[in-house]
Amino acid sequence: MQRKSNSVKNDISIVPYRVEQNEEALFLEALCPQGEEIMVRFIRPTFHKRSEVYERAIIFSAVCEGKLIGIATGAEKELSLHGETIHAAYGFDLRVHPAFRKFGTAKRLTDAFKEYFGNKINCNYTYIAGQNKRALAHVRMGVGSRVAIPMTYFIFPVYKPMIQTMEFTDVSMDELHSLFLKNTPGIDFVPTMKREKMHGYISSITDGNQTGTSIWTNEEILAEQVLRLPTRLSMLRFAQQLFSPILRLPNIPKIGETIKSWFLFDLFAKDEHSLRQILAAVNEQALDKGKDFLYVLLYNNDPLTAMIKQTGIKYFTIPYIFMANGDHIPGIQDRLYVDIRDL
């Protein structure tokens, strides 16, 4: 048995991805659903579509006997951290066929990025769902992680209008980003983002000074299809169907349905009232466009995290973790920027 395992391991080659492998990559992803209580799989027009939002990205394939058995993507960025410009590599979309997970395939894919990007990379990082024990173990033990920073995914159901008293106007993504940086002193880990690469960008709104947000969708890049729901959400879905004629409840997607969602980024607000108002404004737009959820990923030490909890708005949460290694990495007390392209 040991001889057979070594033979398989030696037959695995790590090579650059070719677009001709797209169908194999999509099939492989279907074998690797994400999440535990809420299990989803991603629906993409092409596997490589997601990498196209970055200026510099590379996909590596693991091949055995001519068949794709693993894949992973990395994007190189320039970021500001602690007053310096650093080179970072974001690792994502790591998928390994279930039958090839005991041969070091994931680590070999990860090591390929180290060789490709070279010594200029100061920080390697990724985001991991807090419930994804396999991925957490790989990053901690296989790759090595010097810092793990807790985060929270806030998921706001869009199902009824919210009271709105503040007025917001449309601005460009760059204008909103400038306002965000002005109103978020001390923010770090900020990349450069070119508008022409922001394929999921929808719009930006602001009160003109101290409150605003931009909106993004992954529906044409990385849509989520529901494979499993926890009991409490299945019961809520049953109640939603039962009482929908007389009572408004959140729309819980059924098994096999694609989640219709928007992501908020560059979100800032001067106080709890303003935060509730900007969320109400986006909620109104999302309701009009038939969306079911708004997503916001925040570090637990972000003041907005505490502010959201005081707004009284209903939401679900999913724990997430930022993990990084390298010679110039963020500290657990740093206030870090979340690049919407990474989600």
Q: What 3-state class would DSSP assign to 340? A: helix
Place of tokens 């169907």: 241
Of the candidates 88, 108, 97, the one whose C-alpha atom is nearest the C-alpha of residue 341 is 88
Write down the domain spans for the chain: 2-149, 153-322+333-342
Q: Taking the model in full, what pTM does it have? A: 0.90
Report the alpha-carbon distance of residue 72 to residue 48 in Å, rounded. 10
Res 343 pLDDT > 90? yes
Average pLDDT over residues 86-109: 93
pLDDT digits (tens, 9 = 90+) for 21-53: 999 999 999 998 877 667 788 999 999 999 999
Whole-number pLDDT of residue 253: 73
**pLDDT > 90: percent of the chain:** 73
CATH topology of domain 153-322+333-342: Aminopeptidase (3.40.630)
pLDDT digits (tens, 9 = 90+) for 71-91: 999 999 999 999 999 999 999
Average pLDDT over residues 230-238: 58
Evaluated on CA atoms 287, 289, 291, 293, the torsion sign reads negative
Average pLDDT over residues 120-130: 92
Whole-number pLDDT of residue 45: 95
Assess contact for 320 and 152: CB atoms under 8 A. Answer: yes
CATH topology of domain 2-149: Aminopeptidase (3.40.630)
2-149 and 153-322+333-342 have identical folds: yes
The H or E element that residue 188 is part of is strand 187-188
Average pLDDT over residues 224-235: 69
Report the alpha-carbon distance of residue 342 to residue 321 in Å, rounded. 13
Provide the β-strand partners of residue 335.
187
pLDDT digits (tens, 9 = 90+) for 247-300: 565 677 778 888 899 999 999 999 999 999 999 999 999 999 999 999 999 999
Whole-number pLDDT of residue 2: 42
Average pLDDT over residues 175-190: 96
